[in-house]
Amino acid sequence: MKNFIRLVCLFTLFITMANIAMAAERPVLGNIQTSSKKLTQEEFGYKKACQNYVPYEVAVRNNNPVPVVVTANTRVEFISADGTVTPSDSRRQIYRKSKRFDHSKHIIGALPWSVPSNVRLARNMMIEKPLPIRFEPGKVYNFRVFAPVSVTNPVAVNITNLTFDRKTLCDIKIPLENVEEL
Amino acid sequence: MKKTLLLLSIITLSVVTSGCNQYFRADMENGNGDIYYGTFNRRDYTQADVKLFKRNSTMTCDGIMFLDNSTRMVNWSNKRGLAKMVLGCSDGTVIEADWQMRKADYNKGIGKGVDQFNNIYTFKAVPKSEFKKNVKQKYDFVDDNTTDNYLKY
């Protein structure tokens, strides 16, 4: 019985270590030029959004000869100075935490002007500069990411699970500090 | 009188709490010419959750849609609303689509989309009966607090 328990423990340990090793194997894609800019509340213009998130405008140029594409499992992660990795909120949550109180959802016969500000917010945060689904070679892509305010001193943002051959997964790491414009 | 009032309140409640689901069909223009059926559930006047099913397959997609035009403006009657939809599918495909909504509403409209492998999709609104005929599986929209995936939600 003891031997059996030892065997199970060893097997579990092996699986855990293998998982960690596989997670660490995902390479960071080279030949990528990036730049980033932190947007202040005056530049971004939405007070409630800035209370919950720190907006960054990011530019990426793919200098590889092949296009790099996102997958449905692509995530945006923020890396702090101490190495902590914090996943970004979903686009849905970012919008919900940043929007104004919507009368139309709670009161029948809502005021007609209660919604346009949320439309402008959605346009600014989600429609105008979204994460591109395809990075063509040589082209510069600008998009916005929103770091939760709970992330202290973010130094980089990771776009994970990208692929260029439909098999290999890789990441793009974009530094958020001391960067020059593309 | 009491019964009438009760009936009226039940009808009002059911109308208020019922979802505003609308249905659409997507055709892949190149590739295998696959056909998809989808539905969106309006969460407020700006945002809707989207679910898409591939016909004769278990593949499903989840996503979100943002309307770029207010439905409650005073002069909304003849406007065409634009909307942006992004879907993440169970096989890894990500579809990005631009919709043109008639009268800035979700129930009439056409759309054109592309996935990350450059397959082109066309979207058009269809009646509920056509959706029900082709999609037999049960489904549910995402919970409000879901943080599962960046591109899906």
In chain A, what are the domain boundaries?
32-175
B36: distance to nearest CA of chain A, Å? 17
Task: Quote the strand ranges of B43-104, DSSP E.
Answer: 47-54, 60-67, 80-89, 94-102
Class of domain B20-134: mainly beta
Q: Are B17 and B11 in contact (CB under 8 A)?
A: no
pLDDT band at A20 (very low <50, low <70, confident <90, very high): very low
Residues of B within 8 A of A89 (CB-CB) are 147
Q: Which residue has the higher pLDDT, B112 or A2?
A: B112
- Nearest Cα to B66, choosing from B51, B80, B46? B46
Pairing mode, if any, of strands A85-87 and A134-135?
Answer: unpaired
Is A72's CB within 8 Å of B149's CB?
A: yes
Q: Are A56 and A39 in contact (CB under 8 A)?
A: yes
In this predicted structure, the answer to whether residue A13 has a pLDDT above a threshold of 60 is: no
Single-letter residue type at A168: T
Provide the mean pLDDT of chain A. 84
Q: pLDDT digit string (tens) for A124-181?
A: 999 999 999 999 999 999 999 999 999 988 999 999 999 999 889 999 999 998 777 7
As given in the structure block, the two tokens for residue B139 are 């489904």
Rounded to an integer, what distance in angstroms lies between the CA atom of residue B36 and that of residue B23?
11
A114 DSSP assignment: G
User: Which among A69, A99, A118 has CB closest to B117?
Assistant: A69
In this predicted structure, the answer to whether residue B143 has a pLDDT above a threshold of 50 is: yes
Residues of B within 8 A of A90 (CB-CB) are 146-150, 152-153
**CATH code assigned to A32-175:** 2.60.40
| ipTM entry | 0.81
